[in-house]
Structures are given as structure tokens and as C-alpha cells.
Amino acid sequence: MINPLIKKIINMNHSLNQAIHLSQPITGSFFHANWSAPSHVKTLITTRNGGVSEGVYRSLNVGAHVGDNPDHVAQNRALVQQQVAVPLAYLNQIHSADVVQAATSVHAPLNADASWDNTGTVACAVMTADCLPVLFCDRAGTVVAAAHAGWRGLAGGVLQNTVAAMGVEPIEIMAYFAPAIGAEAFEVGQDVFDAFVADLPSAERAFQAIGGGKYLADIYLLAKLILQREGVTQIFGGEHCTVLERNTFFSYRRDGQTGRMVSAIWLEK
């Protein structure tokens, strides 16, 4: 859970921080990646609004593993599916670096944290509530992918593995960072700092020491540095904070028991 002091500061400065962080207001249940992908590459990112779930899951929770009413989750997933022309391939996310072909995870979700597709018959999908969702495509629009990058998966290589699985030169790949926890709210310990900096010394730039062996971490910058090292230079998004924007996004760090959003990408035939 989030540090009580940081939570107090977030609550006191919520309106100001929200105004600063948002590049453009988000309203409704869905929005799309703002990037220069080919027109036949389609995306959908959900907010917490517009569903049927109640209480702490209000209202568009798509997570079937968080304790919500299964019927409500099914209805919410159906609402999302109506916006997507092909079946959504959810994953059983385990904070790993494992990548699968999306079509293999449609009927029975596989244990993995990223998927890819080059057929146009399925949508790659990842669920989050603070972790970083990264959507990928190549400039020609022949392959897409989606990765769930919590700090463990990020440090473990989920982005590198996703880039490799796409089967195109990294310079041809573009990436979009959908909403995740912002640097103002992501408190981590020395173990997280060490996990990144040991492998990528430049990652030290993404951490601000706050005393007591604690840091505020910029997950967007960490992901950007990793992708740039792999040769991916076309990187978009990363302007939202799921913790601060409480009316728009679910946040596990902020609320503990809560719902999940989904970020999806697919090829339109």
C-alpha cells in the first residue's frame, strides 16, 4: 500500500496534480492510444467508468481475479468486447517476463505477461491498476503486441522479450505507454533500485531518494530507458498517473482492493 505521508500529500494536492499531469482530459469508458501508428492498428484503453460493478470495483472492472461479482465482470468484459472487432486475448498475469502468441490465450488464459499477434484475428490485452501497460506495433502495421510491466516484469525483461517476439527490427517498432502509476506516487525500496541499476546504470535517473532507503520511481522512464537500449526509439504516451487520477483509473496502490482496466491492441483486416 502507499505510504501514509505520500497518500496525505496526494489527497491534499489532488486537484493541482491532476491538472498538471493530464495532457488532455479523459471522459467516458474508453480512449485510444495517441501515437503515429498505421491507421489499421487499433487500440482501446478502458477507464474505471461505465460498467456495472459496485462498491470498490465501481464500475468497469474487467479483472476476474480481484473478488468482484463474476457476473458483473462478465458483463463488463462484454461491454469492452463490443468495442473490439476481434476476440480479446486476456492473460493470467503473473509478473513474469513470459510472452505468448495471443491466439493461444483466447479460450483459456495462459500464464504470461505479454502477447503478440500478426494475424488480425485476435486482440492482445493486458490488465492493470498501476502497473505499466505497453502497446506495440511496427511501422508497417504487420505485427502488434501488449505487455504488462510491473516492476518485477520490467526488471525481469518482459519488454525485451516482447520486442524479440515481434520478429521485426527494433528500429521499426513503436511503443505506447498507457496509464500507470506516476513518479509522484510510486514509492519503492532499495531492492527495486538495485534491481534496475545493477543491469542498467542509467536507470538511476529514474529514482528520487526520499530517505530511509526509499525512493520515488518513474516507471515510464525506466521502461523508456530499457526500450531505447533495445533499439526502440519511437515511444509515446506516459502522461497519466493512475493514483492521482482517482475518478478515471483504478489504483491498487491507492485503494488496495480495487478493479482492473484493460489496454488492448489489434490489427484491422
- Match 473490439 to its residue by C-alpha cell: 84
DSSP 8-state symbol, 104: G
d(CA 196, CA 263): 25
Which of the two residues, 119 and 14, has the higher pLDDT score? 119
Q: Return the pLDDT at 56.
A: 97
Q: Are strands 261-267 and 123-128 parallel, antiparallel or unpaired?
A: antiparallel
User: Which tens digits make up the pLDDT trace of 204-241?
Assistant: 999 999 999 999 999 999 999 999 999 999 999 999 99
The answer on pLDDT for 200 being more than 90 is yes
Rg (CA), the chain: 17
Mean pLDDT of the 18-45 span: 81
Domain at 4-34+41-267: CATH code: 3.60.140.10
User: Is pLDDT larger for residue 161 or for residue 28?
Assistant: 161
pLDDT of residue 1: 52
Contact 127, 45 (CB under 8 A): no
Distance CA 137, CA 125 (A): 13
Inter-residue contact 123 to 137 (CB < 8 Å): no
Asked whether the predicted pLDDT for residue 85 surpasses 50, the reply is yes
Residues 146/165, Cβ–Cβ less than 8 Å? no
> What is the reported pLDDT for 3?
60
Q: What pLDDT does 13 receive?
A: 42
pLDDT at 9 over 50: no
Residue 186 has pLDDT above 60, yes or no: yes
Burial of 82 (0-12, 13-18, 19+ CB in 10 A): exposed
- Predicted model pTM: 0.92
DSSP string, 168-186: S-GGGEEEEE-SB--TTT-
Residues whose CB is less than 8 angstroms from the CB of residue 197 and which lie 6 or more positions away in sequence, other chains included: 203, 204, 207
Is the pLDDT at 79 greater than 80, yes or no? yes
Indicate whether 50 pLDDT > 70. yes
pLDDT on residue 26: 81
What are the grid coordinates assigned to 41, written together?
Answer: 492498428
- pLDDT range class, residue 47, cuts 50, 70, 90: very high
**Is pLDDT of 171 > 60?**
yes
- Among 171, 172, 179, which residue's Cα sits nearest to residue 143? 172
Residue showing cell 496534480? 17
